[in-house]
């Protein structure tokens, strides 16, 4: 942040056209530094857990960097959390401060927080972003207090925990993955390298910032390279078309559902999307034909398939934007990642082309789940291998193909493993099939 503020301080770093709000690198650095000092002046200690529940907006990026500058652990919360979910997350994360917008899409965040204060004794500070919340500190007031402060900001070590990101993992129970500064920045940098992101480019995304792909790959990827992040509060095809056209975005991140929605939208041809150069598609099994069509018809010629998990600081693998296999595979593992494919039943290593569970190891893997030692042991083995629960294979060239779905969805029929995703991908090719889900039914014989 300091490096970009000094080297290209006047360049635009953040753009949220629907808010509307924009910040240069120097402005982002100044706002985040002031907010960090404001937190410290209020008695928040380095190492404290700082939460945020808000839609994508410029203050989101400021809070993320302020937490880092204050030496705190940043805990972004899912914008879909209702009152019970919010209580569980805030209590488990032991938040001492929580930033929030009053509401978003009918979800009354501030009302829910106020109703829970009596049962959340560790939550000392509620900071409101935007209008409302007269009984709480406002974001603007806290930032302005920091501007008048001379308190020194700490210098966290690269190996210190920077963020706790909640993930359902393989059980459906939210778990807080602990990610370090080094892991997050390394993952963002290596992903940006695969996409050949350059200073001055403009990267937009349909992904909420509370997701690792939003706050790490997109946000920190831009920070690493000097690109600008162009944010939208929520995804609609036309909203994304307008952002790309008006802001001349060069990169786009999304998931298969969003790309299909944009590809098939009847108004797409009315927008000029020719500024797009590259981007990412991940989050589910990617259909190579859909990616190829997007590359040709948007056009977004250097669109790449990627694969990762929250527990790996976002990506394990990313196809280079000029890789001829970038639609069919998620490319080679990022530098620093070791990858194995094992037999789910025996744990034996499998050869090229054989489907099994994907394991990953390296400096970008999480430290573990916060206050969940047993769940950590179930996911991270004694040798440091992360068991992803995802099924796929490495091809002869060492590229990763996520083709089998989730381990828990695997069907065993007469001793043979059947992967629903393979059947689903085949059926989806048929023009008469809109959606398909394949699952197993218990059978006494098979």
**Closest of 367, 359, 361, 307 to residue 177, by C-alpha:** 367
Over residues 111-141, the pLDDT tens digits come to 999 999 999 999 999 999 998 767 799 999 9
Q: Is 70 exceeded by the pLDDT of residue 170? A: no
Q: Is 60 exceeded by the pLDDT of residue 416? A: yes
Measured CA to CA, the distance from residue 212 to residue 430 in angstroms comes to 34
pLDDT grade for 251, boundaries at 50, 70 and 90: very high
Compute the average pLDDT of residues 196-213.
Answer: 97
The whole-number pLDDT of residue 423 equals 85
The whole-number pLDDT of residue 429 equals 82
Name the β-bridge partners of 160.
none
Q: Is 90 exceeded by the pLDDT of residue 443? A: no
Mapping DSSP onto H, E and C, the string for 50-80 reads EEEECCCCHHHHHHHHHHHHCCCEEEECCCC
The DSSP code sequence of 328-353 is TS--SBPTT-EEEEE-TTT--B--TT
The whole-number pLDDT of residue 168 equals 64
Measured CA to CA, the distance from residue 67 to residue 188 in angstroms comes to 18
Compute the average pLDDT of residues 83-97.
Answer: 95
Q: Is 60 exceeded by the pLDDT of residue 169? A: no
Q: Structure pTM?
A: 0.92
Compute the average pLDDT of residues 411-422.
Answer: 77
Measured CA to CA, the distance from residue 207 to residue 123 in angstroms comes to 28
**Closest of 59, 75, 77, 65 to residue 29, by C-alpha:** 65
Cα dihedral sign, 150-1-316-384: negative
Neighbour tally for 105: CB within 10 Å: 9
pLDDT grade for 284, boundaries at 50, 70 and 90: low
Over residues 17-62, the pLDDT tens digits come to 999 999 999 999 999 999 999 999 999 999 999 999 999 999 999 9
Angle at 280 between CA 278 and CA 285, to 5 degrees: 140
Compute the average pLDDT of residues 366-395.
Answer: 96
Mean pLDDT of the chain: 94
Q: Is 211 exposed, middle or buried (0-12, 13-18, 19+ CB in 10 A)?
A: buried
Burial 301-330 (b: 16+ CB within 10 A, else e): ebbbbbbbbbbbbbbbbbbbbebebbbbbb
Q: Is 332 exposed, middle or buried (0-12, 13-18, 19+ CB in 10 A)?
A: buried
The whole-number pLDDT of residue 206 equals 95
pLDDT grade for 94, boundaries at 50, 70 and 90: very high
Name the β-bridge partners of 358.
341
Measured CA to CA, the distance from residue 118 to residue 245 in angstroms comes to 47
The whole-number pLDDT of residue 212 equals 97
Measured CA to CA, the distance from residue 383 to residue 110 in angstroms comes to 44
Percent of the chain with pLDDT over 70: 98
Pair 187, 334: CB distance under 8 Å: yes
Name the β-bridge partners of 100.
53, 128
The whole-number pLDDT of residue 77 equals 97
The whole-number pLDDT of residue 139 equals 97
Q: What is the DSSP letter of 151?
A: P
Compute the average pLDDT of residues 99-111.
Answer: 96
């Amino acid at each position: 942040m300091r490096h970009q503020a000094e080297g290209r301080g006047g360049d635009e770093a953040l753009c949220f056209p629907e808010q509307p709000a924009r910040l240069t690198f120097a402005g982002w650095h100044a706002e985040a530094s002031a907010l960090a000092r404001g937190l410290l002046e209020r008695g928040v200690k380095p190492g404290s857990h700082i939460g945020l529940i808000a839609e994508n907006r410029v203050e989101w990026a400021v809070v993320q960097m302020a937490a880092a500058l204050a030496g705190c652990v940043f805990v972004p919360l899912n914008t879909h959390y209702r009152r019970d979910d919010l209580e569980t997350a805030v209590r488990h994360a032991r938040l001492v401060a929580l930033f929030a917008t009053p509401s978003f899409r009918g979800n009354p965040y501030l009302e829910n927080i106020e109703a829970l204060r009596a049962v959340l004794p560790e939550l000392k500070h509620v900071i409101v972003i935007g209008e409302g919340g007269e009984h709480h500190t406002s974001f603007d007031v806290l930032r302005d207090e920091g501007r008048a402060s001379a308190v020194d900001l700490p210098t966290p070590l690269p190996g210190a925990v920077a963020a706790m990101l909640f993930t359902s993992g393989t059980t459906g129970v939210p778990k807080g993955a602990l990610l370090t500064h080094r892991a997050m920045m390394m993952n963002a940098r290596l992903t940006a390298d695969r996409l050949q992101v350059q200073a001055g480019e403009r990267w937009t995304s349909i992904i909420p910032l509370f997701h690792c792909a939003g706050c790490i790959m997109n946000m920190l990827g831009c920070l690493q390279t000097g690109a600008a992040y162009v944010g939208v509060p929520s995804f609609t095809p036309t909203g994304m078309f307008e952002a790309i056209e008006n802001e001349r975005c060069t990169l786009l991140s999304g998931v298969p559902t969003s790309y299909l929605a944009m590809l098939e939208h009847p108004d797409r041809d009315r927008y000029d999307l020719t500024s797009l150069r590259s981007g990412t598609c991940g989050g589910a099994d990617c259909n190579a034909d859909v990616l190829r069509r997007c590359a040709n018809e948007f056009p977004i010629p250097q669109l790449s398939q990627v694969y990762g998990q929250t527990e790996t600081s976002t990506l394990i693998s990313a196809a280079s934007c000029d890789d001829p296999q970038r639609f069919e595979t998620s490319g080679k593992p990022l530098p620093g990642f070791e990858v194995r494919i094992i037999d789910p039943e025996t744990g034996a290593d499998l050869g090229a082309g054989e489907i099994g569970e994907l394991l990953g190891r390296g400096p970008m893997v999480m430290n573990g789940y916060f206050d969940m030692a047993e769940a950590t042991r179930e996911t991270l083995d004694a040798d440091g291998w992360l068991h992803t629960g995802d099924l796929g294979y490495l091809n002869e060239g060492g590229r990763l193909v996520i083709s089998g779905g989730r381990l828990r969805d695997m069907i065993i029929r007469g001793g043979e493993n059947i992967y629903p995703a393979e059947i689903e991908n085949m059926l989806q090719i048929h023009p008469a099939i809109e959606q398909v889900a394949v699952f197993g039914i218990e059978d006494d014989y098979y």
